[in-house]
Structure 1
Amino acid sequence: MNSGHTIDKRALSAGIDRRALCAGSLALIGVTAVKTSAAADETKLEASFPALPYADDALAPVISSETIAYHYGKHHKGYYDAVLKAVAGTELSGLTLEQIVRKSAGDGAALFNPAGQLWNHNFYWVSMRPKGGGKPSGAIAARIDEDFGNYDEFKKQFAAAAVKHFGSGWVWLIQDPNNKLAIVATANADSPMAHGVRCLLTCDVWEHAYYIDHRNRRADYANAWLDQLVNWDFANHNLGAG
């Protein structure tokens, strides 16, 4: 069975390249972070701040309209504006958002942080749906049973990865190059996609994602996210993507 792994933030301060850092963390679960495309379609930069696919209050009570107003309306929009400003008039302006994220992953934080956060948030919003959550159906259900033993074990490991992750970041369900599902945590703006690994779902564990509604109770947020919001249709789509 797989278990969640967190990229060590101390290595960042030691100057280790972000690309190697993520590859090292993924290697703990037998993942080689090469040759695997991201599941999501490539996104034109000008279209990389889409409208939410549901009303602002549709995810309540787990995520309130007040949280959406700050998280989507200010944090997410701020990343979009920062990326547009950073690439304006440069050769990067013609690239897709995914290309910008992958290109900047090893080149410092100035562009990677807002670009990574922009992509991560786009992926996060569609990792949820109103009246979602609970046990999955379809191909993802069979894969979870195969790779984690059963859904309850998957839920336990995913929630634990969210709670144990130190500081800001993300928890991901990924499909590794060996076609196995695994849970990985990344720090700050990082993502498996930035390093060529297929993402199926993500849960945002930055404090601004849950603090208005759950204060410091990240465990409550993580478990409610799994029980009431996770979008298994999106995971099934990503699992089947080429």
Structure 2
Amino acid sequence: MAFELPELGYAYDALEPNIDARTMEIHHSKHHNGYTNKLNAAIEGTDLEGKSIEDILTNLDMTNAGVRNNGGGFYNHSLFWTVMKPEDRGYLSGELKDAIEAEFGSKEAFIDAFSKAAATQFGSGWAWLCVHKGGKVEVCSTPNQDNPLMPGVACGGTPILGLDVWEHAYYLNYQNRRPDYIDAFFKVINWNEVERRYAEAK
């Protein structure tokens, strides 16, 4: 079965003023939709057809640019929309809070590490919070549409929080002020979803 563009679960303007409606509309309906269609075209008629996106990416031939770029783009954005929410976001707590404090010392130190990974990713890419089996967490960044599920990519583990730092994710509202966009992202994180992903992945 072909992959389908997932619904956002909220209106394009729901994250304003932190992320503007026009950016969300273009990002979801054009960029993510484009990755979805190109992924389907790349796997059509191959042995990848019918497999889950996680299975495709964890066993990826990294020289297969069509699947690497578009499969990554499909997966990354599918995660991205769910880790943001306009309301009822919860807050960092429970086992995830304990794991973050064990690794980084404090929530504030984690925010600094994640923000640095996002701000210093050269060109286009993503910042990630990943979890390894057993519950240890790690922050890293990846270029383009690569992600920690892919073979040989920095971090490894399962991504549970991701921030898109391609310019199309923020340029209409923030222009070249990527740090302002990163700060805004922390105001809309759906911690309930991040904690759910942590519990599932560890």
TM-score, structure 2 length as denominator? Answer: 0.90
RMSD, aligned CA: 1.9
1:102-153 C-alpha deviation (Å, 9 max, x unpaired): 3334233122110111001001111111147795122212222221111111
Residue 113 of structure 1: aligned partner: 69
Structure 1 residue matching 2:8: 3-state secondary structure: coil
Amino acid at match of 1:167: G
1:220 aligned onto 2:180: yes
1:157-190 C-alpha deviation (Å, 9 max, x unpaired): 1111111111110000011346321111011111
Residue 197 of structure 1: aligned partner: 157
Structure 1 residue matching 2:62: 3-state secondary structure: coil
1:230 aligned onto 2:186: no
Q: Which runs of 5+ in 1 are unaligned?
A: 1-44
Residue 120 of structure 2: aligned partner: 164
- 1:34-183 aligned at under 5 Å gives the runs 46-131=2-87, 136-177=92-133, 179-183=135-139
Cα shift at 1:93? 1.4
Counterpart Cα distance in 1 of 2:88 and 2:163: 14
Counterpart Cα distance in 2 of 1:110 and 1:147: 36
Q: Which runs of 5+ in 2 are unaligned?
A: none
Distance 1:133 1:211, change over 3 A: farther
Higher relative contact order (CA 8 A, sep 6+): 1
Cα shift at 1:59? 0.8
Counterpart Cα distance in 2 of 1:239 and 1:104: 23
> How many pairs were matched up?
197
Counterpart Cα distance in 1 of 2:87 and 2:180: 17
Percentage of pairs with the same residue: 36
Counterpart Cα distance in 2 of 1:139 and 1:121: 25
Structure 2 residue matching 1:49: 3-state secondary structure: coil
1:45-96 C-alpha deviation (Å, 9 max, x unpaired): 5354211111111111111110011110100000000011122222221211
Counterpart Cα distance in 1 of 2:136 and 2:99: 8
Cα shift at 1:155? 0.9
- 1:21-32 aligned at under 5 Å gives the runs none
Counterpart Cα distance in 2 of 1:91 and 1:233: 36
Structure 1 residue matching 2:49: 3-state secondary structure: helix
TM-score, structure 1 length as denominator? Answer: 0.76
User: Could you tell me whether the CA contact under 8 Å between 1:48 and 1:118 is conserved in 2?
Assistant: no
Structure 2 residue matching 1:46: 3-state secondary structure: coil
Structure 2 residue matching 1:202: 3-state secondary structure: strand
Counterpart Cα distance in 1 of 2:89 and 2:112: 14
Residue 13 of structure 1: aligned partner: none
Counterpart Cα distance in 2 of 1:46 and 1:130: 30
Moved more, 69-78 or 229-238: 229-238
User: Could you tell me whether the CA contact under 8 Å between 1:174 and 1:197 is conserved in 2?
Assistant: yes
Amino acid at match of 1:223: D
Distance 1:125 1:116, change over 3 A: same
Structure 2 residue matching 1:241: 3-state secondary structure: helix
